[in-house]
Amino acid sequence: MQSKWENKVVLVTGSCRGLGLEIAKQLLALNALVVFHSKQTPLPNDPSIIHALASNLAIYLKADLRNASEVEQLIAAAVDKFERLDVVINNAGISSYGLLEEVSVSIFKEVLDTNLIGSVLVSKAAIPALMKTKGSILYLSSLAGLFGLPNYISYSMSKAALRQLRDGLALELHGTGIHVGITYLGFVENDVDKYALDSVGNKLAIPQRNKYLRISKIYASKSILSAIEKRKAVRYIPLSGKLFSTVAFLFSGALSLLFRGR
């Protein structure tokens, strides 16, 4: 049976490690043509990726998503290689940890520019190509985007704003055939070398998440691809995230008490 992803050209930003890498590898297994991307992280020495690159089933491109010119070159190179673009998955992102009064303005801005402005620039550059294929744009948000988390305010802000980006862009593109979706992720298992930036920009190791709360990268990736296949506007992974969304909307005071006590 032919995969729905057969020969679909998919750009996954931030796909050289973590969840983005798992999404890209699953796409290769589904016979999609994958555009790997990172700002500076090299591709892992993975046999499936090496084979895909050698067989012209994948391409690896570098770009700083905060730079409009580099983003435009990224999209142009992908289209030049595969002659089309079907899906853009906005996965790339960073976070910072620290009290607002202590976090450097430059670090705060770096998080917003990478997570939010980067998604804006990628979408803006990709729209002309996606109009031709009636493709999809997906934004990966977080439960942190439903309620402002202490010490992670810049991250929460950037993820919250993706919903407004998604909703407004979906209305702007109505009638073009382009699907615009957003997926809210819970606690996805993280790589051992995953880090956040501290208040002055140093790398701060992020501890492994609680094994009873975290979801696997494999499960998260499959759910993300399913949401795109079904052209879902909004999806929560896991489903309990929808409950958190309701609680955050109706009982924000209770959540404030919860986080205040931590």
Separation CA 154–CA 106 (nearest Å): 11
Q: Residue 139 corresponds to which amino acid? A: Y
Catalytic residue list contains 155: yes
Q: What is the DSSP string of the chain?
A: ---TTTT-EEEETT-SSHHHHHHHHHHHHTT-EEEEEESSPPPP--HHHHHHHHTTSEEEEE--TT-HHHHHHHHHHHHHHHS---EEEE-----B-S-TTTS-HHHHHHHHIIIIIHHHHHHHHHHHHHHHHT-EEEEEEEGGGTSPPTT-HHHHHHHHHHHHHHHHHHHHTTTTT-EEEEEEE--B---TT-EEE-TTS-EEEPPPPPTTT-B-HHHHHHHHHHHHHTT-SEEEESTHHHHHHHHHHH-HHHHHHHHHT-
As a whole number of angstroms, the distance between CA 132 and CA 53 comes to: 25
The dihedrals phi and psi of 141, each to the nearest 5 degrees, come to -105, -160
Q: What is the dihedral of CA 237, 238, 242, 245, to 10 degrees?
A: -80
**Residue in 97, 155, 184, 236 annotated catalytic:** 155
Q: Name the residues annotated as catalytic.
A: 155
